[in-house]
Each structure stands twice: as structure tokens, then as C-alpha cells.
Structure 1
Amino acid sequence: MSLDRPVTPNPYDLLPSVPSFTVTSTDVTDGQPLKDDQVAAHGDTSPQLSWSDVPEGTKSFVVTCFDPDAPTPSGYWHWVLVDLPADVTSLDTGAAAGELPGNAFHVRNDGGTAGFAGAAPPEGDQVHRYYFVVHAVGQESLGVDADASPAVVSFNLAFKTLGRAIIHGTCQA
């Protein structure tokens, strides 16, 4: 099946510009295919992420994974982790399934679960990009709760983000 549609732009290029900082991963190589662990059918495991050089004034983080290439007008949110304390600068592989630090919590992803949903592009579709983004926030709390949608989290981030670090992997079924 081919859904014959244009490749969407990098969605973060469409947001207000903020300083960038560094994010690295032992599980995700920027621009390369995801490991099986990050694919729904093989592992459904959140990747290891580490970040550094965050903007001054950072009081919390939001970590997200977004697929802009999903065959929907709104893409697909795979992971939304909110209110991660500012002293946390890394997440271990599988951290989304474990106990979260401080007051951090998950917002339901587009699959309806609180946590990480692995890559699952439709069979035969174009290559999908999975943007793992660490958002530095200038407040201890983003001001949403676990019932918020990923879109509401993103809306709040548009006004409260001090910086953004991005790494992306790809997947094609």
C-alpha cells in the first residue's frame, strides 16, 4: 500500500525559534532506522536519551516522540512525558515503563496509553520519521495534567519552551 502523499516538513521548523541544546542516545542514531526495541512489533521500548547544555533558567523538561509522517492531518504522538525535574538529564532505555522521577507524568499518546508507543508505520508506506525531542521549560510545571491531549501539551510548550533538543530515527514497514 502506498498512500501517495508529500513528505511533511520537520514540524519543529514551523514553531517559534528557540535555542537548541544537545541530546544524544545510545538507542537512536540521528536520521537512521530505529532499533527493533523502539518498534511496536518488536519491543515497544522507549529509547535511552541524555541531554546537556540546557538553557539557563530551565526548571523542568518535557520529552516527546512525534511522527509527522503518519497518514493523518495531525501526525501521531508516540510519547509525551511532562514535568520531568530540571536535575534529570537522562532517561534509561525503557524509562517510560518504569517509575518516573519527581512529579513527572505521562499524557496519553495517540494510541490511548500513558507511556511510549513504538514505531508502527503502515505496511508499504513511506519512511516515517520519529522526532524525539527534549523541551526545556522555564517553569517547574507545564500547567497541564495527565488528562491533557498531546496537542494541549504542544500548545503550552509553544509559550513556555526555553530551548529544544532533537534527535530523530526512521522506520518503514
Structure 2
Amino acid sequence: MSLDRPVHPNPYDLLPTVPSFTVTSTDVMDGQPLKNDQVAAAGNTSPQLSWSGAPEGTQSYTVTCFDPDAPTPSGFWHWVLVDVPGEVTSLDTGAAAGDLPGSAFHCRNDGGAHGFMGAAPPEGDQVHRYFFVVHAVKDKTLGVDTDASPAVVSFNLAFKTLGRAILHGTYQH
């Protein structure tokens, strides 16, 4: 059974324009179905990500995974990792469950946990898009703590983002 609703727009097209840079992954192929590792019921493992070409002045990064196709008005945040040091340019597969670089920490995702939550759309629903985004931040810290909601993180990013690198995978249950 599909929940009858329109496909949401790419949420990053609705934000103020910032320079883009490159993010790649050995686990997520842009626009292609996610591996089972990135599905909540099959692996629940954060993907490998590498990035390059961030704007000059980048002091830190925030890494997020967002599903705009969840059957809610606000989508669903699967991963919110903030304060990744500016000299870090990659995360290994499963990094969200291990030691984080420098002073990086997780804010809670929409499942209520601090870490990565894999894809878990309703059974039979439309194809969902999972946007893995590396945000280049102009400050060493985003100015939030571990209890910050994804909305608060996004609000802070609106004023501190120098650039954005986007990669998205898909999944349908």
C-alpha cells in the first residue's frame, strides 16, 4: 500500500544558494538504491563518505542524512553529525557507531538516537530519497549540543554554511 501523496521537492533546492563541492562514497551511488548496509533492518551502518573542494575558510563540517519522502510534513532526519574538524575529509563505513574524529558528536536523529539510523520507509510506500550532505561550516563549532534537534542544527547551518556537497541514494521497502 502506498501512501497517496506527491513527491516532495529536493529540499536543498529550497535553501539559499551556496557553493557546491564534491562528496563521493564507496557505499552510496548517486541516485541509485542503497546497499542493505544502509537499511535499518538489514545493516543500519553509516556509509563511507569522502569529500574534497570545500570552500576556503571551512573550519568544520556537519554531515547529515535526510529523507524528504517520509510521510510527515517535515521529512525524517536519519543522521546528524556536527563539529567534524576541518582537516577531516572522509568517514569510514560504520564511522557513526565508532570513535568520531576530534570533537565531532551526534545530535539526535528523528528516531531519537544519537547516531545513524538506516533507511526504513513504510512497506509498500513510494521510493524514498536519502540525501547524504556534507556541509562546510565557517566556524569550528556549529554552536549546538547533543540534545539539539535536527531543526535547530539546520537553523544554525543556515547562517554558518559556506558550501554543500550532496549525494543521494534511494530505497523502497
Q: TM-score, normalised by structure 2?
A: 0.99
Q: Which amino acid aligns with 1:60?
A: S
User: Which segments of 5 or more consecutive residues in structure 1 lack a partner in the other structure?
Assistant: none
Q: Deviations over 1:109-168 (max 9, x none)?
A: 000110000000100100000000000000000000001100000000011000000000
Note the 1:1-173 alignment, pairs <5 A.
Answer: 1-173=1-173
Q: Which amino acid aligns with 2:9?
A: P
Task: Report the CA distance between 1:101 and its aligned residue.
Answer: 1.1
Q: Following the alignment from structure 1 to structure 2, what is the Cα–Cα distance between the partners of residues 159 and 115? A: 24
Q: Which amino acid aligns with 2:125?
A: D
Task: Report the CA distance between 1:75 and its aligned residue.
Answer: 0.2
Task: Report the CA distance between 1:2 and its aligned residue.
Answer: 1.2
Aligned structure 1 segments of 4 or more residues deviating by more than 4 angstroms: none
Q: TM-score, normalised by structure 1?
A: 0.99
Task: Report the CA distance between 1:21 and its aligned residue.
Answer: 0.1
Where 1:62 maps in the other structure, the secondary structure is: strand
Kindly report the root-mean-square deviation, in angstroms, between the aligned alpha carbons of the 2 structures: 0.4
Q: Deviations over 1:67-126 (max 9, x none)?
A: 000000000000000000001000000000001111100001000110000000100100
Number of aligned residue pairs: 173
Where 1:159 maps in the other structure, the secondary structure is: helix
Q: Following the alignment from structure 1 to structure 2, what is the Cα–Cα distance between the partners of residues 102 and 32? A: 32
Q: Which amino acid aligns with 1:171?
A: Y
